[in-house]
Amino acid sequence: QVQLQESGPGLVKPSETLSLTCTVSGDSISGYYWSWIRQPPGKGLEWIGYIYYGGSTNYNPSLKSRVTMSVDTSKDQFSLRLSSVTGADTAVYYCARESSSQFDYWGQGTLVTVSS
Amino acid sequence: DIQMTQSPSSLSASVGDSVTLTCRASQGISIYLNWYQQKPAKAPKLLIYAASTLQSGVPSRFSGSGSGTYFTLTISSLQPEDFATYYCQQSYNPPFTFGPGTKVDIK
């Protein structure tokens, strides 16, 4: 059974950089696209972007200038960095596996609050 | 970006009812449409992909249909565990976009 687990600080100060890591277990990270998706409290879902295990990326244009994703296949991990955060970036951040154009496995989500 | 809309935004129904949720895309997306169920404080769960294919382990009371710009999710004989929010998502073109959701609650 594939499992994903997000990790990282739950509190980030405005203007700083949010950093999260997703650890994949139960299967190799190879061969798939891996996405980050976020959900502000009480609101809907927003796709942030994906990274392929080989390292290619595709980011949501709405966030592209602030997003960097990376992958470490030796650790079966991939990461998200979102710079210059504001209160609008407060959300539950999910990592998810994309398989044949659908998100079939998700992490449990981690709440990141942007506040001084 | 492809915009996704869902209707209704919420509905109340009883156990045993059949309900149909609607999702529309701002442009044709063939059958690149997925449905997710989300319960409070939980991650979304994939129910249906490619418009009408049931994800493994999902009960057969869930069914999906549609292509192009119009899609539906039908839940026949609602069960207590089906009360949740349902999102559609297009995977036709990045940026992948979700609908705003339909909340199904107990009448």
Q: What pLDDT does residue A38 have?
A: 98
What integer is the mean pLDDT of B15-22? 97
Which residues of chain A are within 8 Å of residue B32 when distances are taken between CB atoms?
101
**Minimal-distance CA residue of chain A relative to B98:** A45
What integer is the mean pLDDT of B36-46? 98
Q: What pLDDT does residue A52 have?
A: 96
Least confident range of A5-9, A27-31, B32-36, B51-55: A27-31
pLDDT digits (tens, 9 = 90+) for A36-47: 999 999 999 999
Which residues of chain B are within 8 Å of residue A94 when distances are taken between CB atoms?
43-44
A56: tokens are 């290619």
What integer is the mean pLDDT of B36-64? 98
Closest by Cβ to A44, choosing from B42, B46, B87: B87
CB contact A53 to B (< 8 Å): no
What integer is the mean pLDDT of A23-40? 96
DSSP string computed for B2-27: --EEEE-SEEEE-TT--EEEEEEESS
Do residue B55 and residue A104 have CB atoms under 8 angstroms apart?
yes
Mean pLDDT of all residues belonging to chain A = 97
A30: tokens are 């190879």
User: Nearest CA of chain A to the CA of B4: how many Å?
Assistant: 12
pLDDT band at B34 (very low <50, low <70, confident <90, very high): very high
pLDDT digits (tens, 9 = 90+) for B69-98: 999 999 999 999 999 999 999 999 999 999
What integer is the mean pLDDT of A30-35? 95
Q: What pLDDT does residue A70 have?
A: 97
Q: What pLDDT does residue A25 have?
A: 97
A12: tokens are 């980030």
pLDDT band at A100 (very low <50, low <70, confident <90, very high): confident
Q: What pLDDT does residue A41 have?
A: 97
Q: With residue B46 as reference, give the H or E element that holds it.
A: strand B45-49
pLDDT band at A97 (very low <50, low <70, confident <90, very high): very high
Q: Which residues of B lie closer than 8 Å to A, measured between beta carbons?
A: 1, 32, 34, 36, 42-46, 49-50, 55, 87, 89, 91, 94-101
What integer is the mean pLDDT of B18-31? 98
What integer is the mean pLDDT of B24-52? 98
Residue B107 has pLDDT above 90, yes or no: no
Q: Which residues of A8-30 are buried (b: 16+ CB within 10 A; e: fewer)?
A: beeebeeeeebbbbbbbeeeebe
Which residues of chain A are within 8 Å of residue B36 when distances are taken between CB atoms?
103
